[in-house]
Amino acid sequence: MKFYNREKELTFLNEIEQKSVQSAQMTIITGRRRIGKTSLIVRSVIRKKNLYFFIAKKNEALLCSEFVEEIKLKLGVEIFGEMKTFKTIFAYLMELSQTTHFTLIIDEFQQFLAVNPSVYSDMQNIWDTKKDNSKINLILCGSVYSLIKRIFEQSKEPLFGRATQRLFLKEFDVNTIKEILSEQYPSYLSDDLLAFYMITGGVAKYIELLVESGAFTLNDILDTILSENSLFLDEGKNVLIDEFGKDYGNYFSILALIASSKTSRPEIESILEIPVGGYLEKLEKEFGIIQKIRPVFSKPNSRSVKYFIKDNFLNFWFRFIYKYTSAIEIGNLNYVKKIVLRDYKTYSGKLLERYFLNKLITEGDFSSIGTYWEKGNMNEIDIVAVNDLQKKMIIAEVKRQPENISISKLKEKAEGIINRFEGYQIEFAGFSLNDM
């Protein structure tokens, strides 16, 4: 599959590389697994002198022997004597970078915690003493969000404050997803686009896997995901186990409930019968997996709070794969597919709301965008988008089918908003599959 829509990121990385010719740069690149970090980095250094170190969970001396071979091959230098520690290798490269400009990529950087945690303090000492005369472009990449955040953002950690640049790689936006689908499957229907968005959420690897399988319709997508030996079946665990560690059971239970529309803390606690405030806070602030939402216009300390899983695929995985693990373990994948098809219209309707929210955000015309509801979940409105500069507002209802949209009922539900924003030009809209 061709390389899509990372022009801004490539430009950013190229600018950093140019700066590093004059002074050392340390760039952190993060983003969820499968988002395309490595592909982006490798593409940014094509035809440039670079080293690529992947940190696998193995003996440090074995890793270093691989790195030495990479240095010899890529930089064409002779290395005499043995280098069995990363401290020795990094010191050598920082010294070499004083006379030779190159990029050093260290992928899955957080895994040094398992290999040798002292690497971080060693790197800090070497960086601080040698960076002023260095011309290295150092790129540190990691997928475990909580660990990367800890390594670089906690003030007691050795590498705190050392990075000169940061890049958080996001999913493809809805316009890019449409572009990919248009090129790969020009005859797609709106429901095909919704299913494609619902499963991939713009994650590059998932898009690539579906494209390689020729899976562009809901039926074909489900057959690909719910097939024997499918990568997707264990993907939720693969993405999150390293984040959560031994305590993953409670986190998984909470995420499964949120994916099944139990989106408030009281609802979750009543089912699990344990306090979940600490778990929710970590899921939001430390792991970055869920998002807390309040009604648009509500006060920051409002107790009217709901939670949702930010990642489309993980939401689907917890709703349909994790929930029906027992059926999957006995190989009854067709049973799970029937469950998905049974619930598809309701489930995809919520993802259609997210699609249009993201679409409006991508347009960049609004100062705030969100959903709205009043006490007791009364007068729920799917989308409220405000442009305070131009005193304009869109109030919208989202339904799969346009005939189910009632603008008159929408206006009734929006009375509280209308009274609050006198003088604003308000557009009432209905978004459906036809508008995708």
Q: Is residue 348 part of a domain?
A: no
Q: Is 183 a domain residue?
A: no
Same domain as 161, residue 44: yes
Q: Are 227 and 21 in contact (CB under 8 A)?
A: no
Q: Name the amino acid, one letter, at 272.
A: L
Structure tokens, 240? 């999150």
Mean of the pLDDT values across residues 110-123?
96
Q: What is the pLDDT of residues 215-252, one digit of tens each?
A: 999 999 999 999 999 999 999 998 898 888 887 899 99
130 and 34 in a common domain: yes
CATH code for position 267: 1.10.10
Mean pLDDT of 37-48: 94
What's the confidence (pLDDT) of residue 247? 77
Are residue 139 and residue 30 in the same domain, yes or no? yes
**Mean of the pLDDT values across residues 2-25?**
92
Last residue of a domain, one of 168, 183, 204: 168
Does 42 reside within a domain? yes
At 153, which amino acid appears? E
Which residues constitute the domain of residue 428?
Answer: 364-435
The residue ranges of DSSP E strands in 236-326, in sequence order, are: 290-293, 306-309
Domain boundary among 330, 350, 382: 330
Q: Does one domain contain both 17 and 111? A: yes
* Percentage above 70 pLDDT, the chain: 100
Decide if 368 is inside a domain: yes
The tokens for 69 are 């071979």
pLDDT digit string (tens) for 131-150?
A: 999 999 999 999 888 889 89
- Residues 29/140, Cβ–Cβ less than 8 Å: yes
In this structure, the answer to whether residues 12 and 156 fall within a common structural domain is: yes
pTM of the predicted structure, to 2 decimals? 0.90
For residues 385 and 321, membership in a common domain is answered with no
Residue 415 CB partners (closer than 8 Å, separation 6+): none
The least confident of 140-149, 251-260, 327-336 is: 140-149
Contact 140, 28 (CB under 8 A): yes
Q: Are residues 401 and 322 in the same domain?
A: no
Question: SS3 breakdown of the chain: % helix, strand, coil, rounded to 5?
Answer: 55, 15, 30
As for how many domains the chain has, the answer is 3
Q: Residue 80's pLDDT is what?
A: 81
Residue 185 confidence class, pLDDT cut points 50, 70, 90? very high
For residue 111, what is the domain's CATH number? 3.40.50.300
19 has pLDDT over 80 = yes
350 domain residue, yes or no:
no
Which pLDDT score is estimated for 239?
Answer: 86
Judge contact between 56 and 37, C-beta under 8 A.
no
Please report, as a single letter, which amino acid is at residue 395. Answer: I
The mean of the pLDDT values for the chain is 94
Asked whether residue 383 is domain-assigned, the answer is yes
The reply to whether 35 and 126 lie within a common domain is yes
203 in a structural domain: no
Indicate the residue among 279, 308, 330 that finishes a domain.
330
> How wide is the angle at C-alpha 357 spanned by C-alphas 352 and 359, nearest 5°?
95
Structure tokens at 434: 């036809």
Q: What is the pLDDT of residues 383-428, one digit of tens each?
A: 999 999 999 999 999 999 999 999 999 999 999 899 989 899 999 9
> CA angle at residue 116 from 113 to 122, to 5 degrees?
100
Query: Can you state the angle between helices 235-244 and 145-153, rounded to 10 degrees?
Result: 30
DSSP H or E stretch at residue 266: helix 265-272
Same domain, 164 and 68: yes
Q: Grade residue 213 by pLDDT with cuts at 50, 70 and 90.
A: very high
Q: Would you call 346 exposed, middle or buried from its count of C-beta atoms within 10 A (0-12, 13-18, 19+)?
A: exposed
- What's 264's DSSP letter? S
Distance (Å, whole) CA 281 – CA 27: 28
pLDDT(297) > 80: yes
Is 1's pLDDT higher than 70?
A: no
Based on the domain organization, do 72 and 163 belong to the same domain?
yes
With respect to residue 343, please indicate whether it lies within any of the assigned structural domains.
no
Tokens found for residue 315? 């939401």
As a whole number of angstroms, the distance between CA 280 and CA 264 comes to 10
Q: How confident is the model at residue 302 (pLDDT cuts 50, 70, 90)?
A: confident
Let me know whether 368 and 293 are in one domain. no
What pLDDT is recorded for position 236? 92
To 10 degrees, what angle do helices 174-184 and 333-363 make? 120
| DSSP type of residue 159 | T
Residues 161 and 12 placed together within one structural domain of the fold: yes
pLDDT at 303: 84
Q: What are the tokens at 182?
A: 């248009």
Going from the C-alpha of 103 to that of each of 16, 27, 42, 52, 136, the distances in angstroms are 10, 11, 10, 8, 6
User: Which residues, 6+ apart, have CB-to-CB distance to 359 below 8 Å?
Assistant: 174, 175
